[in-house]
Structure 1
C-alpha cells in the first residue's frame, strides 16, 4: 500500500512553539517501512505549522490555502501512485473542500486523532469528512458512535527499534521512575506517593525549577469587555458545566507538599527517555488529566501513549487504571494497574522487591504490544476496512 502521509512533519530546523510532536513522524514512518508499505510526502509541506496559528486567523487560512492546494496538485500529478491519504490533523487544520477533491481523485482519507476524550464534549463535525477515523482511546468510542462517524479502534501508533525488543536485556536502574510533563494532578498524586514512602524519580517539563523570576505585586487587569469576551469564548468551547468546573477547581485546590528535589530530574532527551523507560526497575504511567469535564477530585482518565510505548520497550510497567486497559492487556500478567496513591505505593514497592514478577511483566507485556499493538497490524486492519 502506498500512503501519502501527513503526520505533523515539519520543514524547519527547530521545532514549532507547540507541544512536542516530532516523535509521531519517527514512529509512523518506521512503522510503514516495517509493514513493507511505502510512504510519500507532499514536497515542502509543513503540516505541523498549522498547529501554530489561532483558529479562524488569517495566518491559519494562508497556511491552509497553500498546503492543501499543494497536496491536491501533488496527488493530481501522481494519480495511480497513491492508495491512501493518512493524516494526523486537528479540526482547525482540516479543509473539507480539499478532502472532498482528494476523495474524488480516488484516494480514501483516514485521520488519526488521539486527544478525543480530553479535548471534546462531542466529536467535531470536521471529522465527518473522512472515510475513516483512527481512534486509539477506547473511552472515546461512545462519542464516535453517537456522532455516526465511521471509525476504527486501534492502538497508538508506536514503533521501537529492534535493538530494544528484548526485555531480558534490561539493565535495571534503582527504584521507580515517572517521565512526563508536570500538571496539578500528577503533582498531587506523586507528592502523596512520595510522602507515603515511594522511591521514585520524576522527570519532564516543569518539574525542575531553572531559576526564579521576580513577580510584581501589581496586577494588570484587562478591560471589562475583553474579560467578558474571554468568558464567552470559554463557554462556547467548554459549556456552562466546564465554566462551573473551572471555578470549582480553583476554589477547591488541594495543598500539595513539595516533592524533595532529590526525586526530580530535568527532561531527558529522546534516547535517554528510551533508556529510562526500558531500564527503570518500575516504569510508572499516570492516566489522569486536568480538564473542564471533571473536578480535580474525580479526575478524567483514559489510556495514553505510554500505555503502548512502555510495554513495547520491555518496561516493567505500572500504570493508572482506565476502562480501556483490560482491552489491551492482561492486567495480572502483562502490566499492573493502580487506582489511587495507596495502591501505587503498595504495588510499586512489591515490584521493586520481586525480580521474578518484574521479569514476567517485562516479557509478557512486550510480547503482547509487539505482536498485537504494532503499526503494521494497524495498517493492515485499516486497509481491510477501507478496501475490503
Structure 2
C-alpha cells in the first residue's frame, strides 16, 4: 500500500530529533518494514517554519498530489487537530479519491480539539469508547474504536545479563506518576525512573498548584478550562485539579519528597533502547489516571501507548485496573493490575520476590504473544481499511 502519514507536531526543520518520534518508531517504521510505501508529511517541516492552517493545507495537498501522481495513494492517515488542520484539506484529499482517516489522541480529555475536523474525515478512529457519543455530535460519519498498538520491530523481549530486581518507569514524572513512584520508593520498593524527573518538572521541593499550572502553563489554558466544563470528563478533571491544589497546599504528600527512599532517576532512553531498559528490570510501572483525577475516590483511567509498548517488550507490567485493558491482557497471567496505591505496593513486593521469577517469565512470554497476535499497528490499520472497504492486506 501507499500511505500518507500526516502529523503537524514535530519541529523537524530545526535539525532536532522528531518531537513526536513515537509516530516514526511506532506506525511509520512498522508499516515500512512490512513493505508499504509511507510518505510522512509534516507541513511545518515542508514550510521550514510554523504556519497557518491554510498554509499547512496548501503544502499538504500538494505533497499528497505529488505522491499520488508518482504511483497512487491508498490512504491518508493523520492525527489532526483543529488549530493546525483545516477541515477543507481532508475534504480536498477525499475528492482526489483517497480515503482519509483521523486518529484522535486526546478524545477523552480534550475532545474539543477535533470539533471542526471530525466531520471532514471518511473514518474517525478514537482510542476511547467513551468519546464516541461526542464525536458523533461533532459529525463523525464513520467511527471506530480501537486502542493504540505497538511496533514489534522496536519493542521486543530482551534478557539483560545485569538483571535488576526492581521496577522501571519510563516517562515524565508528574501527577499520579510522581505520587506512585514516591510511594513505592518510600516503601523501600526499588524503582528506577528513566525520563524527566519531578525535580525537573516541579523544582526541588516538588510543590505544585495544579489548577494554576493548568491555566498558565499552556497558551490556551483558560480556553481549555472553559471548554472542559461542557462535558463530564472535563468537569471531573477541573474538580480534581482544584482538589489536588488544596491537598498540595495543606498536606505533606509523598511526591513532595521525590528523592526519599529507594529511587534512582536516569536519562530517558531512546525508543531503540526501551527493550533493553524494560528487559533489565523485573517489573515495569504504568499510570492510567487522567490528569489529577487520581485524588478522587474513582479516578478516570484511560489506556496509553505505554501499556502496548510494555506488552510488546514482554514486560511484567504493573498498572491501574482498567476494564478494557483487562479484556486485552489477562489479569495476573499477562498483566498485573492494582486498584489503589496501597495495592500497587503490595503487588510490587509480591511480584518482585524471587519465588515469583518463574511466574513472571511465563507472564512475559504470554503478554508478548498476545501483543504480537492482536495489537500491532498493522492490526489497527487493517481494521481501518476493512471499515473503509479497502480490499488490501496491511
TM beyond 0.5: yes
Q: How much has 1:174 moved relative to structure 2?
A: 2.2
Relative to the length of structure 2, the TM-score reads 0.79
The question of 1:256 aligning with 2:247 is answered: no
Which of 159, 181, 205 aligns to 2:172? It is 181
- Counterparts of 1:240-319 in structure 2, within 5 Å, are 241=235, 245-253=240-248, 254-257=251-254, 258-260=257-259, 263-270=263-270, 271-290=272-291, 294=293, 296-298=295-297, 299-319=299-319
Within 1, Cα distance between the matches of 2:6 and 2:385?
17
Say whether residues 1:40 and 2:39 are aligned partners.
yes
TM-score normalized with structure 1 length: 0.80
**Is the Cα–Cα contact under 8 Å of residues 168 and 193 in structure 2 kept in the other structure?**
yes
Displacement of 1:156 in angstroms is 1.5
The equivalences for 1:289-368 within 5 A come to 289-290=290-291, 294=293, 296-298=295-297, 299-353=299-353, 354-368=356-370
Larger CA deviation: 317-326 vs 170-179: 170-179
- Please say if residues 139 and 302 of structure 1, whose CA atoms lie closer than 8 Å, have aligned partners that are also in contact: no
Q: Quick one: structure 1 residues 105 and 272, their matched pair in 2 at CA, closer, same or farther if it must change by over 3 Å? A: closer
Residue 119 (structure 1) aligned with residue 120 (structure 2): no
Task: Give the aligned length.
Answer: 360
Alpha-carbon displacement from aligned partner over 1:111-150 (angstroms, at most 9, x marks no partner): 1222222223796232121111222334434544565622
The 5 A counterparts of 1:215-230 are none
Question: What's the CA shift string for 1:165-201, capped at 9, x where partnerless?
Answer: 446x454322111122121222222222333332222
> In structure 2, do the counterparts of structure 1 residues 31 and 295 end up closer, same or farther at CA, with 3 Å as the change threshold?
closer
After TM superposition, give the deviation of residue 285 of structure 1 in Å. Answer: 0.7
Residue of structure 1 in register with 2:182 after alignment = 191
Q: Is the 1:137–1:302 contact (alpha carbons within 8 Å) kept by the matching residues of 2?
A: yes
Equivalent of residue 152 in structure 1, options 140, 144, 169: 144
Q: In the aligned structure 2, how far is the partner of 1:196 from the partner of 1:62? A: 54
In structure 2, how many angstroms separate the alpha carbons of the residues matched to 1:211 and 1:120?
Answer: 27
Residue 235 of structure 1: CA displacement? 4.5
Deviation at 1:102, TM superposition (A): 0.8
Q: Secondary structure at the match of 1:117?
A: coil
User: Cα deviation per residue 1:347-386 (whole Å; 9 max; x = unaligned)?
Assistant: 1111111101111110000000011101122222211111
Structure 1 residue aligned with 2:227: 237
Q: Secondary structure at the match of 2:373?
A: helix
d(CA) in 2 for partners of 1:92, 1:370: 35
Conserved in 1, the CA contact under 8 Å of 2:169 and 2:286? yes
The 8 Å contact of residues 88 and 113 in structure 1, kept in 2 or not, is answered as yes
Structure 2: stretches of 5+ with no match in the other structure:
205-215
Choose which of 71, 74, 83 in structure 1 pairs with 2:63: 71
SS of alignment partner, residue 378 of structure 1: helix
Contact 2:124 2:144 in 1 (8 A): yes
- Which stretches in structure 1 are left out of the alignment for 5+ residues? 54-58, 214-225
TM superposition shift of 1:307: 0.7
Residue 383 to residue 200, structure 1, CA distance change in 2 (3 Å): same
CA RMSD of aligned residues (A): 3.4
2:95 corresponds to 1:104: yes
